[in-house]
Chain A
Amino acid sequence: MATSTTQPRAGRRLPDSPRDPRRVGFSQTLGRWDVKVSPYLYISPFFILFALTGLFPLAYTAYVSVYDWHLLGGQGDFVGFDNFAFVFQEPNFWKGLRNTFSIFLLSTIPQLMIAIVLAALLDANLRARTFWRMGVLVPYVVAPVAVSLIFGKVFADQSGLANAVLGFFGVDPIKWHGAVLPSHFAVATMVNFRWTGYNTLILLAAMQAVPRELYEAAVIDGATRVRQFFSITIPQIRPTLIFVVITSTIGGLQIFDEPRMFDQLGQGGPGRQWMTVTMYIYELGFGNSKSFGRAAAVAWVLFLIILAVGMLNFWLTRRIASESTPKEPRRKKVKR
Chain B
Amino acid sequence: MRKTTRKAWALAAGVTSIALVATACSSSDDAGEGDETADGGNITLTVATFNEFGYTDEMFDRYEAENPGITIEQKVAATSNEARENLNTRLAAGSGTSDIEAIEVDWLPELLQYPDYFEDLSSPDVEGRWLDWKVAQATTPDGKLIGYGTDIGPEGIAYRADLFEAAGLPSDREAVAELFGGDSATWEGFFEVGKQYTSTTGKPFFDSASAIYQGMVNQEEAAYEDPDTGDVIALDNPRIEEMYTQVTTAAVTDNLSAHFSQWSDDWTNSFQTDGFAVMLAPGWMLGVIEGNAAGVTGWDLADVFPGGSGNWGGSFLTVPTQGANVEAAKDLAAWLTAPEQQIEAFQNKGTFPSQVEALESDEIKSATNEFFNNAPVGEILANRALDVVVPFKGPQYFTIQDAISNAIVEVDVNGADPAAQWQTFVGVVEGLG
A pairs with B: yes
A→B interface (CB under 8 Å): 14, 32-33, 36-37, 40-41, 44-45, 47-48, 52, 71-73, 90-91, 152-153, 156-160, 175, 177-179, 263-267, 270-271, 286-290
Interface string of B3-36 (1 = CB under 8 A from A): 0110011001100110010000000000000000
Asked if B78 is at the interface (CB within 8 A of a chain A CB), the reply is yes
List 19 A-B residue pairs with CB atoms under 8 Å apart, sorted by A's residue number. Answer: A33-B8, A37-B5, A41-B9, A44-B16, A48-B16, A48-B20, A52-B17, A71-B88, A72-B91, A91-B427, A159-B270, A263-B264, A264-B265, A270-B409, A270-B410, A270-B413, A270-B414, A286-B88, A286-B92
Contacts of B79 on A, CB cut-off 8 Å? 264-265
| B interface size (C-beta, 8 A) | 49
Interface string of B264-285 (1 = CB under 8 A from A): 1110011001000000000000
Q: Determine if B78 and A178 form an interchain contact, defined as CB atoms under 8 angstroms apart.
A: no
Contacts of A156 on B, CB cut-off 8 Å? 264-266, 269
Partner of B398, one of A160, A270, A288: A288
Least CB distance, B137 to chain A, in whole angstroms: 19
Q: Determine if A288 and B399 form an interchain contact, defined as CB atoms under 8 angstroms apart.
A: yes
Q: Determine if A286 and B85 form an interchain contact, defined as CB atoms under 8 angstroms apart.
A: yes
B→A interface (CB under 8 Å): 1, 4-5, 8-9, 12-13, 16-17, 20, 78-79, 81-82, 85, 88-89, 91-92, 110-111, 113-114, 117, 259-261, 263-266, 269-270, 273, 398-399, 402, 405-407, 409-410, 413-416, 424, 427, 431
Q: Determine if A158 and B91 form an interchain contact, defined as CB atoms under 8 angstroms apart.
A: no
Partner of A36, one of B5, B78, B263, B402: B5
Docked CA distance A158–B1 (Å):
72
Least CB distance, B313 to chain A, in whole angstroms: 16
Contacts of B111 on A, CB cut-off 8 Å? 72
Query: Chain B CB within 10 Å — which of A32, A45, A90, A157 has the most?
Result: A157
Q: Determine if B5 and A71 form an interchain contact, defined as CB atoms under 8 angstroms apart.
A: no
Docked CA distance A271–B421 (Å):
9
7 shortest interchain CB distances as A-B pairs = A178-B414, A288-B399, A270-B409, A270-B406, A159-B269, A156-B265, A37-B8
Docked CA distance A142–B148 (Å):
40
Least CB distance, A101 to chain B, in whole angstroms: 22
Q: Determine if B81 and A265 form an interchain contact, defined as CB atoms under 8 angstroms apart.
A: yes
Docked CA distance A286–B261 (Å):
23
Least CB distance, B273 to chain A, in whole angstroms: 7
Contacts of B17 on A, CB cut-off 8 Å? 48, 52
Closest to B259 in A: A158
From known contacts A40-B12, A44-B12, infer whether A264 and B414 are also in contact, taking CB-CB under 8 Å.
no
Docked CA distance A91–B4 (Å):
55
Q: Determine if B12 and A264 form an interchain contact, defined as CB atoms under 8 angstroms apart.
A: no
Contacts of B4 on A, CB cut-off 8 Å? 33, 36-37
Docked CA distance A175–B410 (Å):
12
Closest to A48 in B: B16
Docked CA distance A40–B399 (Å):
52
Docked CA distance A158–B82 (Å):
24
Contacts of A267 on B, CB cut-off 8 Å? 81, 402, 406
Closest to A292 in B: B92
Contacts of B16 on A, CB cut-off 8 Å? 44-45, 48
From known contacts A33-B8, A179-B414, infer whether A90 and B431 are also in contact, taking CB-CB under 8 Å.
yes
Least CB distance, B241 to chain A, in whole angstroms: 19
Least CB distance, A248 to chain B, in whole angstroms: 28
Contacts of B261 on A, CB cut-off 8 Å? 177, 263, 265, 270
Docked CA distance A273–B1 (Å):
59
Query: Chain A CB within 10 Å — which of B110, B113, B261, B427 has the most?
Result: B261
Partner of A73, one of B114, B399, B406, B424: B114
Contacts of B78 on A, CB cut-off 8 Å? 264
Docked CA distance A71–B111 (Å):
11
Docked CA distance A14–B402 (Å):
72
Least CB distance, A108 to chain B, in whole angstroms: 27
Q: Determine if A158 and B12 form an interchain contact, defined as CB atoms under 8 angstroms apart.
A: no
Q: Determine if A159 and B91 form an interchain contact, defined as CB atoms under 8 angstroms apart.
A: no
Closest to A36 in B: B5
From known contacts A72-B114, A156-B264, infer whether A44 and B399 are also in contact, taking CB-CB under 8 Å.
no
Least CB distance, B255 to chain A, in whole angstroms: 15
Least CB distance, A13 to chain B, in whole angstroms: 11
From known contacts A44-B13, A91-B427, A288-B399, infer whether A160 and B263 are also in contact, taking CB-CB under 8 Å.
no
Q: Determine if B264 and A264 form an interchain contact, defined as CB atoms under 8 angstroms apart.
A: yes
Least CB distance, A109 to chain B, in whole angstroms: 27
Q: Determine if B82 and A44 form an interchain contact, defined as CB atoms under 8 angstroms apart.
A: no
Docked CA distance A262–B129 (Å):
42
Partner of B270, one of A158, A160, A266: A158
Contacts of A45 on B, CB cut-off 8 Å? 16
Contacts of B407 on A, CB cut-off 8 Å? 270
Contacts of A36 on B, CB cut-off 8 Å? 1, 4-5, 8
Contacts of B88 on A, CB cut-off 8 Å? 71-72, 286, 290
Partner of A44, one of B9, B113, B270: B9
Least CB distance, B252 to chain A, in whole angstroms: 13
Docked CA distance A153–B267 (Å):
11
Contacts of A158 on B, CB cut-off 8 Å? 259-260, 266, 269-270
Docked CA distance A266–B114 (Å):
25
Docked CA distance A32–B416 (Å):
74
